[in-house]
Every structure is written in C-alpha cells, then in structure tokens.
Amino acid sequence: MSEKSFDTLAVHAGAETQEKHFGAVSVPIYNASLFAFSDAESGAKIHNYEAEGYFYSRLGNPTTDALEKALCELEKGEDALCFASGMAAITTSILGLVETGSHIVAPESHYATTGSFLRLLAEKFGVETTFIDATNAENYKLAARVNTRIFYLETPANPTLQITDIAEVAKGAREAGVISIADNTFATPFNQNPLSFGVDLVVHSATKYLGGHSDLSAGAIIGNREIVDKIRHSTMKLFGGCLSPNTAWLVLRGIKTLAVRMEKHNSNAQKIAGFLANHEKVKAVFHPSLTNHQNHEIAKKQMRGFGGMIAFDVGTIEAGKIFLNNLKLCTIATSLGGVETIAQHSASMTNANTPKELREKAGISDGLIRLSVGIENSDDLIEDLRQALMII
Ligand SMILES: Cc1ncc(COP(=O)(O)O)c(C=O)c1O
C-alpha cells in the first residue's frame, strides 16, 4: 500500500498498538507507576533494556508509548519521547546534548522562555549561544565554531513568523558535524516535517496544536534513534519530566482531529491575514502565506500549509492594549494552538522580560499582536477584529 495521507495517518497513528490492548480502539490509560515482573530473570532484562517491556512509568508507559509511536508516524521519525511540557522537552534535550564549553547557534526570534533558558545555560554552565538572524540560513554556518554542538531552529518563529530554510540549515549542520533541532510547534506535522529536510530532532509543545483544546501541558521530541536514546538514558531519566498517561491519552485524542483542525486554522488564518494586510490601522502583517512575507518562497518550498499563527503591528504598546481590551469574541491569553482564537500583545506579555534591545532585534515591535487563529467562522472573527481595530 502506498504511503498514507496525513488525514488518514492522524486518525490511525499509533493504532498498531491495539493488539497490545485487547483490541481497544481508544488506547487505554495505564494509570500505573510501576509494572510487576513475572520472574527475576525477565525483570532484570526489561530493567536493563535487553527485553521489551515496562517497569517504571517515568521511563516508559504503554499509553505514553502509543503517543510516541503516533508522533513518529506523523513526523516521520525513528523514535520519540514525551515530556510534561514543551519546555521540559527543550531543556532536557539540549542539556542531554551539550557539555560545559559547548556552543549553540539559535535564532534571534524564538519562544521567549527558550531564549531565557539558553541565556541561563551561558550564565550558569558556560554553554554560550550565538543568536543570529535566521531568515538567512547562511548565518548558522557563519556563527559556527569548533565547539558548536547544536543548530537550533524555530520556523515559523514565535512570535514574528520569521521563516528559516530548514534544508539549508540541516545541510550546514551535517557539514559542520553538529546536531540540528527544529521546534515545529507553530507549523505542526500537518504543515511541515523538518525531519524530511534532514533535521536530526524535532521538538514540540504538544500543549498547542497537537493537544488542540487548551486543556493540557505536554511536550515531545521526535527524530534520529541514536539522539533520542541518548536523551532518554541521560537527562530524561535524571530530570524525570515525564508525561502522565492521562495527558498522553488527551494528546492522542487531540491528534485524531489534527488534520481537520489544521485545515481550518490554515484557511482562517490566510483569510484574516488578507483582511489585516488591507486595514489602514495595521502597520504590518506577518503570515507566511502573504506574498510580501520576507521568506514566502522558502515557506512555499517547505510547508504544505502556512499555519494558524499571525503577527501584526498596531503601532504602539498603548494601541496594542486598547485593541486587546476591545475584542469581544477572541480570547486574550498567552498560549496558542487551541480551537478558540487567542490574541496576545508580545511586548507587554510573553516578551515583557526580554530586554527591549533584544526584542527589537528579533522584530518584536511595541505594537506587535500575536493571533492564534482558531476554527470559528472566519467572518465572525474578521468582524471582531474590525470592530476592535476601529477603536485604536
Ligand atoms: C514555539 C514554542 N515552543 C515551545 C513552547 C513551550 O511549550 P510549553 O508551554 O508546553 O512548555 C512554546 C510555548 O508557548 C512555544 O510557543
């Protein structure tokens, strides 16, 4: 049978594990922290990873395992690991792959807490990060040093929607002998598969689109078996930020509708980006679908759809706050990827702790609004945005 299309995969991903669960169509939730061995010999083998099986849920659980298998299918990876949050996935992975004196290259525009973590690594452990303009893949190579261990990507980037050429950075990483990691939270595997462009590891905040309903915290990594295994047996085991089986089940349920949700997120966002681009109160709009987006051509090359995230500039911090306060349908909140449309003002919220100079360098202007476009009716959303923009 030829390779299944994404919407089919999303519904059935991880289903081969049904056999293990008496044919249960929905993977059961294994609320067990430990698993008994049938005898000492087989117990020792399972515990030492010489035989398949489970022994302790921090290190493996059948429900979480089903989610990891599903994520491998969707992201086209060899292996996966789930975590209690996106940040647990990011910090555990990076710490598992660097040592004191290592160097990382990362984009100037990134999820603010990832940046705080990279700065903390430099202060406390001497692991320095060079932040570059990732809209030009060449800058990764230019910033590489003999001690560089990781090229870190986030594309589309939070909150600016900047796009990085994944294949170019992955090629540069291979040539330089460093590991490439891509945060695929904004795009989701529906729109983009970084592993197919040669990246070694994908990270996700499954709190966002994978879960999809603003009701859980989860994270995951997917990719090269050797790298995932290295993280599993070092920092994952030691830090213990594992995902609970209850939450793994919620993410699995979310994934079943990922394709239909993403289709609507994509089409709504494209319509809204077009509306905002023609509005007199809006200074600039950033969405990879727009032909005037700086890296629209690269986005077209590597994305199947342009995603549900939009950023737009209303001019000033004050205008940003007035706009949010006048929204009637959209929710004011700092997360994204849920079925409801969520708006936030980056300078006073998610990037309030980013020094102004770094914020501006990353393209986060005072009036930047980040919109996570939901799956409501696009006309209703446009009407809400129109009336809130009229007041600023
Ligand atoms: C792009 C991106 N990566 C990672 C994270 C961190 O995920 P979590 O909040 O699940 O820890 C976020 C959170 O907003 C994000 O937007």
As beta bridge partners, residue 201 has 181, 223
CA–CA separation, 97 and 148 (whole Å): 11
Whether 87 lines ligand 1, by a CB cut-off of 6 Å, is yes
* Ligand 1 geometric centre to CA of 260 (Å): 22
Q: Are 123 and 99 in contact (CB under 8 A)?
A: no
Q: 214 in ligand 1 pocket by Cβ < 6 Å? A: no
Of the pLDDT bands very low, low, confident and very high (cuts 50, 70, 90), residue 356 is confident
Instruction: Tell me, yes or no, if 379 is annotated catalytic.
Output: no
139 lines ligand 1 (CB under 6 A): no
Q: Which pLDDT value is given to residue 308?
A: 99
* Residue 183 annotated among the catalytic residues of the structure: yes
Catalytic pick among 30, 69, 111, 149: 111
Predicted local distance difference test score (pLDDT) of residue 14: 83
Mutate which of 83, 85, 87 for ligand 1 pocket (most atoms within 8 A of beta carbon) = 87
Of the listed 45, 49, 58, 230, which one is catalytic? 58
Q: Is the CB of 162 under 6 A from ligand 1?
A: no
Distance (angstroms) between ligand 1 centre and the Cα of 45 equals 37
Rounded to two decimals, the pTM is: 0.98
Mean pLDDT of 172-179: 98
* Residue 3, pLDDT above cutoff 90: no
| Mean pLDDT, residues 170-186 | 98
pLDDT at 1: 46
Residue 169: pLDDT band by 50, 70, 90 thresholds? very high
Question: Does the pLDDT at position 73 exceed 80?
Answer: yes
Which band of pLDDT confidence, cut at 50, 70 and 90, is reported for residue 354? Answer: confident
Lowest mean pLDDT among 15-19, 188-192, 237-241, 358-362: 15-19
Give me the mean pLDDT over the 119-135 stretch: 98
Which of the residues 183, 200, 313, 384 is marked catalytic? Answer: 183
Instruction: Provide the pLDDT for residue 172.
Output: 98
Please work out whether the CB of residue 205 comes within 6 Å of at least one atom of ligand 1.
yes
Residue 7 falls in the annotated catalytic set:
no
Average pLDDT value for residue range 319-330: 98
Q: Please indicate whether residue 38 or residue 22 has the higher confidence score (pLDDT).
A: 38
How much is the pLDDT for 2?
60
Mean pLDDT of the 21-30 span: 92
- Number of other residues whose CB lies within 10 A of the CB of residue 198: 16
Mean pLDDT computed over every residue of the chain? 96
Q: What is the pLDDT of residues 253-308, one digit of tens each?
A: 999 999 999 999 999 999 999 999 999 999 999 999 999 999 999 999 999 999 99
% residues pLDDT > 90 (the chain): 94
Confidence label for 372 from pLDDT (cuts 50, 70 and 90): very high
Q: Which domains does the chain have, with CATH numbers?
A: 258-391 (3.90.1150.10)
Give 351 Cα–ligand 1 centroid separation in angstroms: 13
pLDDT of 190 over the 80 cut: yes
